């Protein structure tokens, strides 16, 4: 049962992180300054702050969901074009996000009820997920994604490491224009 839950968690993470459709209805990439504060056992490996630099809302072509947001680190840019590689291609993420330092980076995909997140530190990937919609993982806690006011709030939002099951807590407010 634990393996089935872990597989479901990874599949949901991959769905939201790697999904791709031909729909070109998208909004422009937005550069933003902001930080997400992290707490939990994994902060010894991933740090306590994620400095945000790029946000893209409504990129169904990247996430498979219209009401979603893609978040990348400071110094990164998110391509405004649709992906040219298949989501299963190992170079897919690098084809849509230009990282300042891909050995120390992160990508977060957020909806009102789900978070899929990858944090890379010193070249080591750590994947996190939460799911308040399908209950295949830890529930997310408080996520406020307000597209009308262009605000995303993490208020003690929780994600689970897909390998170790440790919990990471996210706090912070991001605004885009």
Q: In the prediction, which pLDDT does 151 show? A: 92
Q: In the prediction, which pLDDT does 94 show? A: 81
pTM of the model: 0.81
Helices (H) and strands (E) in the chain, counts: 4, 11
Q: In the prediction, which pLDDT does 28 show? A: 46
117 pLDDT above the threshold of 90:
yes
When pLDDT is cut at 50, 70 and 90, the band that residue 82 belongs to is: confident
Q: What angle do CA 174, 175, 176 make, to 5 degrees?
A: 125
Q: Please, is 164 exposed, middle or buried when counting C-beta atoms within 10 Å of its C-beta (0-12, 13-18, 19+)?
A: exposed
- Provide long-range contacts, Cβ within 8 A and 24+ apart, for 93-100: 93/17, 93/18, 96/62, 97/54, 97/70, 97/72, 99/72, 99/73, 99/75, 100/73, 100/74, 100/75, 100/76
Report, as an integer, the average pLDDT of 89-116.
90
Q: In the prediction, which pLDDT does 132 show? A: 92
pLDDT, tens digit, 9 for 90 and up, residues 37-62: 999 999 999 999 999 999 999 888 88
Asked if residue 122 lies in contact with residue 103, where contact means CB atoms within 8 angstroms, the answer is: yes
């Amino acid at each position: 049962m634990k393996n089935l839950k872990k597989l479901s968690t990874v599949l949901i993470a991959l769905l939201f992180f790697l999904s791709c459709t031909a729909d070109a209805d998208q909004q422009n990439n937005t550069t933003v300054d902001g930080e997400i504060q992290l707490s939990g056992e994994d902060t010894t490996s991933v740090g306590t702050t994620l400095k945000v630099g790029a946000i893209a809302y409504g990129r169904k072509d990247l996430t498979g969901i219209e009401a979603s947001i893609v978040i990348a680190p400071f110094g990164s840019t998110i391509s405004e074009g649709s992906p040219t590689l298949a989501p299963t291609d190992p170079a897919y993420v690098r084809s849509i996000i230009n990282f300042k330092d891909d050995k120390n980076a992160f990508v977060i995909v957020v909806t009102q009820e789900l978070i899929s997140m990858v944090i890379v530190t010193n070249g080591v990937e750590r994947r996190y997920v939460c799911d308040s919609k399908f209950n295949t993982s830890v529930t997310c806690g408080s996520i406020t994604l307000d597209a009308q006011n262009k605000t995303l709030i993490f208020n003690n939002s929780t994600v689970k490491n897909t390998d170790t099951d440790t919990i990471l807590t996210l706090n912070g407010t991001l605004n885009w224009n």
